[in-house]
Amino acid sequence: MASERATFGAGCFWGVEEAFRCMDGVLSTEVGYSGGDTENPTYEQVCRHDTGHAEVVRVEYDPQKLGYEDLLAKFFEIHDPTQVNRQGPDIGDQYRSVIFYHSDAQRETAEAMKAEIDASRRYPRPIATQIEPAPAFWRAEEYHQQYIMKRGGGGCHR
């Protein structure tokens, strides 16, 4: 089976990971940092805004069971994509709404869905989600991995 990868930033990565982890067809998830200029950043550095990284979730999925479009639909469902550098009470560039694409097909699909949702007027403000090539992914510290599953409780998202 050939799996595929998708990477999303939609605010605090704990709740984002849990939303994707529970989807049928997702093989694995891991949280980390992407889109900045520091190699192997720590959570503390990212929170100090020293690195430019976003908190992201990397999803490994089976495209025979789950389409990239389904992942994008979940992404747009679990956060407010009109927010710039924030989600709810979480404020900072690490919480930006971003899709890091791994192929031209992912880029095209993400751009089309973003335009479709924007045109639908589903949100009162324009979609602020950034769509960028997938940069290096730095795995977050182990205590962040599957945080909600391990500790219970709700997520950070609506």
Report the C-alpha gap between 130 and 53 in whole angstroms.
13
Helix (H) and strand (E) counts in the chain: 5, 8
Residue 89: exposure state from Cβ atoms within 10 A (0-12, 13-18, ≥19): exposed
- Residue 103 phi, psi dihedral angles, 5° rounding: -160, 165
Q: One of 12, 22, 47, 156 is an active-site residue; which one?
A: 12
Regarding beta strands 26-34 and 137-139, do their DSSP bridges make them parallel or antiparallel, or are they unpaired? antiparallel
The residue type of 124 is: P
156 catalytic per annotation: no
Residues classed as catalytic: 12
